[in-house]
Amino acid sequence: MFEERRELRIVTYMCPSHPVQLYEVILELLEQSLECYTTLQYESRAPGPFPDRPNPFSTNKIDLAFMTAEAYMRLREHDTLNKSVELLPVTPVFAHQMNVENKPGYFSDIIIHADKKAHNVNSLLDLRGCAFAYNREESLSGSKIVLKTLQEKGENASFFGSLLRSGSHLASAQMVLSKQAEWAAVDSTTLLYSKKFMQDRGKDIIILETLGRLPPYPIVVNSQLPDTLKRAITKALLNLPHSAEWKNKFAKFGVIKFVENSDGAYHGAAAQVRAIPSEKLNVRYY
């Protein structure tokens, strides 16, 4: 006879840019801490719930989801009537050379092939006329922050030689490594974890510049979940630093700890980045 336990239905929209194994470890932690069962759905076709389909939170299909900041901001805008989603007040902190204070949020790494460095490419502006790979038009780290930075430097769409839509941060990095693209902007956490699995451990990928900080990765919950359960999930994640065993499991994915998060992180500067118009120029799909 199976023990009667609650089952949490969890979805990650963060793969393949983030390894699915990271989310499997999170589920293992929750199962142990909450004495519950969990199921994980992997949705790689979108960064969050599909905007042209019924909201899986309001239809009570899922309990918790990991999605991009942009997807959460969009979902929140379209959920004003049902109020079916809430931001869980906790977020992971990832290691990065720019994150010396171990704060939440992430970065956009501008990457080139090592061969470009040999041709006197030393800054973002040196990439004028070069083929640029990005994951999606609406991506904060893959597209929007680049457009905002170029705009602040007095540039426009004529800066790009061509735009290559890769479909994921991982694919963008691979396009630079294989020289299909001359440069790309990728989620810093994607690069941190994935380089060791690339040819020669990605030694030919050079970080030219780092843009950001971008808003933290949101963890979104169904508002119908009991408040006691929401607090228990939050506590389980925040307690990560107190367990050496779990810290080691998360460290291989670059996760240092979990810290408090709030909706304020998705206003102000984050909203300004998201509001940058997506510019399209000779886009080729891969």
The per-residue pLDDT for range 206-241, each reduced to its tens digit, is: 999 999 899 999 999 999 999 999 999 999 999 987
Share of the chain above pLDDT 90, in %: 73
pLDDT in tens, 1-35: 345 788 999 999 999 889 999 999 999 999 999 99
Report pLDDT digits (tens) over 80-129: 766 899 999 999 999 998 999 999 999 999 999 998 876 788 999 999 99
What is the per-residue pLDDT across 34-63, written as a single tens digit (0 to 9) for each?
999 999 999 999 999 999 999 999 999 999
The predicted pLDDT at position 66 comes to 98
Residue showing tokens 């909706």 = 263
The domains found in the chain, sorted by start residue, are 7-95+215-266 (3.40.190.10), 106-214+273-285 (3.40.190.10)
pLDDT band at 164 (very low <50, low <70, confident <90, very high): very high
Confidence of residue 149 (pLDDT cuts 50, 70, 90): very high
Q: Residue 278: what pLDDT?
A: 65
CB atoms within 10 A of CB 134: 29
Residue listed under structure tokens 């941060």: 169
Residue 179 φ/ψ region, left for φ over 0, alpha for ψ in the -120 to 50 degree band, beta for the rest: left
Q: What is the pLDDT of residue 259?
A: 97
Name 255's bridge partners.
Answer: 94
pLDDT of residue 201: 78
Residue 9's pLDDT is 97
Answer yes or no: is pLDDT of 281 > 70.
Answer: no
Global pTM value: 0.90
Q: E strand or H helix at 145, and its extent?
A: helix 145-152
Strand segments, DSSP code E, in 88-130 are 90-94, 106-113
Please state, in angstroms and rounded to a whole number, the distance separating the CA atoms of residues 257 and 238: 7
Mean pLDDT of 142-170: 91
The per-residue pLDDT for 1 is: 39
pLDDT at 274 over 50: yes
Query: Band of the pLDDT at 279, cuts 50, 70, 90?
Result: low
> How much of the chain exceeds pLDDT 70, in percent?
95
On average, the pLDDT of the chain sits at 90
Given a cut of 70, whether residue 280 has pLDDT beyond it is no
Find how far residue 15's CA is from the centre of its chain: 9
